Chain A
Amino acid sequence: MRSETAGPTFVHLLLPALWASRNRTRRRDRGDLLRAGVFAAVGAGVCLAIFAGSFWLNWQLAQYAELGDYLVRLGLSWLFLVFLSFLAFSGLVTALSTFFLAEDLRLLLAAPLAPRRLFYARFGRTLLHSSWMVVVFVLPVLIGAGLARCAPASFYLAAVTTLAPFVVIPVAIGSAVTLVLVNVFPARRARDILMLMGLLFAAGLVFLLRSYGRSG
């Protein structure tokens, strides 16, 4: 029977990333602040543009009763389909590095860590790395749509609660595919296979969108 000692908590395994971020912020080199400012301004600008675009489009489409509703539904379906595929593929690629190719794995695997805790910490990292961008881009779209349609507070609550499984499920599926792939091929060969899968994925996505467009 396998034993399981108390060992470090899940949060402890995330400390190096948190401390490293804090140290980067504290020990700024000359020009770092300017770079961070430019990056934040560009990010905020993009989010604002997405929000403005979403708000304007929803506002315009709201004028056209049934057709407007249909077009909003169609647009959001496409958007979510694209992001869903993106999340699954991103989870696939990120899981390869967090679970198998990360340099700190040797340090962690030599420590008395329960495999389950290490798995959850790695999955948390995969989830964060592969989904933050999607969340940053989806939120302004949903807020824009909500404001344009004068949606009640429950719309925003539903949006946030839907976003969590929307992000977790495809990343989990992507990670599971990676775990299966690496059990069949060595991790470095799996990386080449993933590159090929990336091309097939892009081609498949274009095909899917075109078919969906036609049937819609």
Chain B
Amino acid sequence: MIAVHDLVKRFGSFTAVDGVSLSVEPGQIHGFLGPNGAGKTTTIRMIAGLLQPTSGRILVNGHDLALEPERAKASLGFIPDRPFIYEKLTAGEFLRFHGGLYGMEGWAVDDRLREMLDLFELGRWEHELVESFSHGMKQRLVMGAAFMHRPQAVLVDEPMVGLDPRGARLIKEVFRRMSGRGVAILMSTHTLEVAEEMCDRISIILKGRIIAHGTVPELREIAGSRDAQLTPVFLKLTGGSGLQEIDEV
């Protein structure tokens, strides 16, 4: 599970994240929505251990990130918005290296990497250099890497960007399957349809603060909206200013 308590991040006099608290239970897919610059990526980077919070507490599967960073990170998978892949490695080598970063060795890595390549439909490309991959294939490879070490919690920042419909469907299926196995998933997205379709609970962040959280019907109630779609609810809650920033698929 992922639990965040009163998280604050300041850059000089600017407060990017202002007292964010949220909890993602095992088996839950939690959507993290908000307009551009609301603080989604900063929050996710703090949970991933890439940024140090100004104050607040982050627990990943019971491990305090500030006190036990390695244990917390070992049980966490992270799929960033702009992932890095070594272009001169093959897909298999990249997964093997990634597994090694998480302490995986020997046959366990080989078996798991083939499982991941098959799951993300990259089996044929195991021995091909990553530089020859399309954006969607790279995205799927990064997701495979994030699930390599069987994390109990996964952080995903904008998972659907650049994926074709088939790739997007595949990712949705994988996320559902993983949550079915008890993995807690915190997913930041601009694609409201994806959030609506996949997330058990949603938190909406605006100007660094969580302004609403709950299931889609609960959010509809908070916004006082009768619309069936999440888009008008989101716009109502965020003051409509996010209209141009919504990237609907």
Find out whether the CB atom of A23 lies under 8 angstroms from the CB atom of B88: yes
Find out whether the CB atom of A6 lies under 8 angstroms from the CB atom of B89: no
CB of A16 within 8 A of chain B?
A: yes
Find out whether the CB atom of B78 lies under 8 angstroms from the CB atom of A110: yes
**Which of B27-35, B68-76, B186-194 lies on the face that meets chain A?**
B68-76
A144 to B156, CA, bound (A): 59
Find out whether the CB atom of A2 lies under 8 angstroms from the CB atom of B97: no
Q: Smallest Cβ distance from B143 to chain A, in angstroms? A: 14
CB of B108 within 8 A of chain A?
A: no
CB of B222 within 8 A of chain A?
A: no
Q: Is the interface of A mostly helix, strand, loop or mixed?
A: loop
CB of A101 within 8 A of chain B?
A: no
Known: A12-B100, A27-B129. A5 touches B88 (CB 8 A): no
Q: Smallest Cβ distance from B113 to chain A, in angstroms? A: 14
Q: Which of A2, A15, A107, A110 contacts B100 (CB 8 A)?
A: A15
A4 to B69, CA, bound (A): 8
Contacts of A106 in B (CB 8 A): 50, 80, 84
Known: A8-B100, A15-B100. A111 touches B73 (CB 8 A): yes
Contacts of B76 in A (CB 8 A): 110
Contacts of A103 in B (CB 8 A): 84
Find out whether the CB atom of A109 lies under 8 angstroms from the CB atom of B50: yes
CB of A7 within 8 A of chain B?
A: yes
CB of B243 within 8 A of chain A?
A: no
Q: Smallest Cβ distance from A118 to chain B, in angstroms? A: 10
Contacts of A15 in B (CB 8 A): 97, 100
Q: Which residues of A17-73 are within 8 A (CB) of B? A: 19-20, 23-24, 27
Q: Smallest Cβ distance from A59 to chain B, in angstroms? A: 45
Known: A7-B103, A23-B90, A114-B70. A107 touches B84 (CB 8 A): yes
CB of A184 within 8 A of chain B?
A: no
Q: Smallest Cβ distance from B156 to chain A, in angstroms? A: 13
Q: Which residues of B115-140 are within 8 A (CB) of A? A: 129
Find out whether the CB atom of A20 lies under 8 angstroms from the CB atom of B97: no
CB of A3 within 8 A of chain B?
A: yes
Find out whether the CB atom of B101 lies under 8 angstroms from the CB atom of A113: yes
A97 to B98, CA, bound (A): 22
CB of A192 within 8 A of chain B?
A: no
CB of B200 within 8 A of chain A?
A: no
A12 to B93, CA, bound (A): 12
Q: Smallest Cβ distance from A18 to chain B, in angstroms? A: 10
Find out whether the CB atom of A111 lies under 8 angstroms from the CB atom of B102: yes
Contacts of A5 in B (CB 8 A): 70-71, 74, 103
Find out whether the CB atom of A110 lies under 8 angstroms from the CB atom of B70: no
Q: Smallest Cβ distance from A69 to chain B, in angstroms? A: 50
Q: Smallest Cβ distance from B186 to chain A, in angstroms? A: 14
Contacts of B73 in A (CB 8 A): 110-112
Q: Which residues of A67-114 are within 8 A (CB) of B? A: 103-104, 106-114
A111 to B80, CA, bound (A): 13
* Chain A to chain B contacts (Cβ below 8 Å), 27 pairs: A2-B67, A2-B68, A3-B70, A5-B70, A5-B71, A5-B74, A6-B103, A7-B103, A8-B101, A8-B103, A15-B100, A16-B93, A20-B86, A20-B88, A20-B89, A23-B88, A23-B90, A27-B129, A107-B98, A109-B49, A109-B50, A110-B73, A110-B80, A111-B101, A112-B73, A112-B101, A113-B70
Known: A110-B49, A110-B78, A112-B103. 11 other contacts (CB 8 A): A3-B69, A3-B70, A4-B70, A5-B103, A23-B88, A23-B89, A110-B50, A111-B73, A112-B74, A112-B102, A113-B70
Residues of chain B whose beta carbon lies under 8 Å from any beta carbon of chain A = 48-50, 67-74, 76, 78, 80, 83-84, 86, 88-90, 93, 97-98, 100-103, 129
In the complex, the 4 A-B pairs of residues with the closest C-beta atoms, listed nearest first: A20-B88, A112-B74, A111-B101, A112-B73
